[in-house]
Structure 1
Amino acid sequence: MKTIIFNKNRIITVVFWAILAIAFWSQMAHDFPILPAAYVTIILFSGAIASAHILSNHLLPKAIASGNMKIFVVQCVVITLVLNIILAGSSVSIYWLLIHGTLGDSATISIHYSNFWPTFVSAIPSAVLINSTACGLRFYQEHEKIEKNHALLKQEHLVAQLRILQDQINPHLMFNVLNHIHILMQKNVELASVLLVKFSDILRYQLYECNQESVLLEREVQYLKDLVAVERIRWGDELKVDCIWNIKDGKRYILPLLLVPFVENAFKHVSRLPYEKGYVTLILKQQDDELIFTIENSNSVQQPRKNNSHGLGLDNVKKRLELLYPNQHQLNIEKTTHLFSVALTIQLHQTK
């Protein structure tokens, strides 16, 4: 069974013309006998449809596309005058052809329809109302179409921008892991083998799952755990790494690779002083619809960050948050002489 789809704009147009037809018929049936009233109504309605069709379906879309509305105003005035002539001329013609001198003639009808110019003047509001309403409806439809196209282009631009931002993450992360494996293969082959297994999971996630707009939270968390495991292997006893994972509903959705730059940044810039053991503390917990992520690493004034910046990765993730979590996230970054910390709270999505 076919589903009936109602087009809002089409319904509005049909209602408008139905009301206009009823209005024409009511006025003519009040003044003329039934047959002449039917003739006049058909002529008036046909003229109204023709003028409105020319203006709203042909001239107005061209004017909007070209941006030249001055010519359209002139065209609108000319066609409205033509419609006004049709409205007045048809009424006067029917009067003289079918009603004058018959039993249906009267002084009142003669006053209103025997003279063209008074009838022409009295018909001006009707002609203006018909064309202006038809053009108004068409302008609304064109505006709605432009808004939809604009929203579509904006969405396509958003997707393209997010793809660029995501592509900036993947190569950097992959080269880091490969470099870790290369170093370990020269020192501890068994440990390098373990790292290769972790790297295969990381690579599989990046290649087959991160091309989606959003991923399951449980998969993103597992990915982060693999990254942290890689860093634990690389640093060994030189770095204290503490993690707390408290995820209650892993079936929620999150942007892929959203938290990776924070993790990378913490291990990249953790203090490396010979007399001081650095640390990285990561906490990821879920409270109802909120995901709360905090990560802190030791910092040292003797090992300043270049240009005091957070790096491309953090700027990248800020842009992604602004694009896809507008008014749905809170990000705080704190840097002191002894620590660097990030606290992020986002509203999780239930569906893709």
Structure 2
Amino acid sequence: MKAFLVIVIFLLIVAIVCLVYLIVQNNKKRLELEKEKYLFDSKMRYLQLENLESRLDPHLFKNILNSIQSHAYQTYYALDKMAGVLDYILYDSQRKMVSLKEEHEFALRLIDINKIKLNPLFRLDIRSNIGEGEVFYTEELIAPLICVELIENAFKHADLASTDAFISILFKLKNGHFDLLVSNKKSRMKTLHKEKGGYGLTALNKRLELIYGNAYKLEKNEDDHIYSTHLKINLHDFKTKMHTTR
């Protein structure tokens, strides 16, 4: 009887050891599969971003050159501004992330180039509300060229002829939250539409989603007279996410 109990206990111990071994191996395989899935998803996100970004530069170059060519009398002024814009597009935009300071300065130069299309009496309201001591202003947390689409759309589709026409652009950074608000009076002669090939706000939204996930929002509002867009990025949450996923 004693020998039988010893055998039973031994078999139970062996069974427990085997069960623990199987559980450990299954967990190990599960973790390996999760890691492979994460790497696959990361590669897919990278390829999607590369595809989106590769389509951006020609679109931007075309709009800039059209602005300059149609206002030859201001070409010298425009080319001076364009030098900084092209440096940013050719070099800085190749980086995965830039600082908000760099993107902000680029956006202001881009606005200056687009200003040459406007009548001197046109109401253009550009404001920058950057909180003092905002460390997020100089940290590299911004995907390059994310301001382009909103700004270009405002100049492209604004009513440039009416006496009450306007374009308003606000850059805001407070407590780690970046906001870009753009609004304009709509032209009676133009309708907002997607760019050829589907590029436009849809592509921007996809790019932002791939990069920032839940840390951003892109909203648009439209009525019979006004079109507005509002980009919000929680830089604090995005920075935290970057550190936890490394």
**TM-score between the two structures when normalised by the length of structure 2:** 0.83
Separation (CA, whole Å) in 2 of partners of 1:175 and 1:137:
58
Separation (CA, whole Å) in 1 of partners of 2:192 and 2:129:
31
Written as runs of structure 1 = structure 2, the 5 A alignment for 1:265-280 is: 265-273=153-161, 275-276=162-163, 278-280=165-167
What corresponds to 2:55 in structure 1? Answer: 168
Written as runs of structure 1 = structure 2, the 5 A alignment for 1:231-270 is: 231-237=114-120, 239-248=122-131, 249=134, 250-252=137-139, 253-270=141-158
Written as runs of structure 1 = structure 2, the 5 A alignment for 1:1-352 is: 111-113=1-3, 123-185=10-72, 188=73, 191-237=74-120, 239-248=122-131, 249=134, 250-252=137-139, 253-273=141-161, 275-276=162-163, 278-306=165-193, 312-349=199-236
Separation (CA, whole Å) in 2 of partners of 1:256 and 1:285:
17
Deviation at 1:325, TM superposition (A): 2.3
Separation (CA, whole Å) in 1 of partners of 2:160 and 2:115:
15
Q: Counterpart of 1:293 in structure 2: which amino acid?
A: L
Relative to total residues, which structure has the larger helix share, 1 or 2?
1
CA contact (8 A) 1:216 1:254 kept: yes
Deviation at 1:207, TM superposition (A): 1.6
**TM-score between the two structures when normalised by the length of structure 1:** 0.60
> What fraction of aligned residue pairs are identical, expressed as a percent?
26
Separation (CA, whole Å) in 2 of partners of 1:195 and 1:267:
16
Change (3 A) 1:139 1:158: same
Deviation at 1:301, TM superposition (A): 4.6
Separation (CA, whole Å) in 2 of partners of 1:329 and 1:298:
26
**Aligned partner of residue 205 in structure 2, secondary structure:** helix
Relative to total residues, which structure has the larger strand share, 1 or 2?
2
Deviation at 1:120, TM superposition (A): 5.5
Greater shift in the superposed pair: 262-271 or 317-326: 317-326
CA contact (8 A) 2:118 2:160 kept: no
- Could you list the runs of 5+ residues in structure 2 that have no partner in the other structure? none
Larger relative contact order (Cα-Cα within 8 Å, sequence gap ≥ 6):
2
After superposition, the CA RMSD in angstroms is: 2.5
Change (3 A) 1:235 1:301: closer
Deviation at 1:238, TM superposition (A): 6.9
Deviation at 1:302, TM superposition (A): 4.7
Deviation at 1:276, TM superposition (A): 4.3
CA contact (8 A) 1:282 1:296 kept: yes
Q: How many residues of Structure 1 are paired with residues of Structure 2 in the alignment?
A: 231
- Could you list the runs of 5+ residues in structure 1 that have no partner in the other structure? 1-110
Task: Kindly name which structure, 1 or 2, has the bigger radius of gyration based on alpha carbons.
Answer: 1
Deviation at 1:262, TM superposition (A): 0.5
Separation (CA, whole Å) in 1 of partners of 2:53 and 2:193:
24
CA contact (8 A) 2:159 2:188 kept: no
Deviation at 1:218, TM superposition (A): 0.6
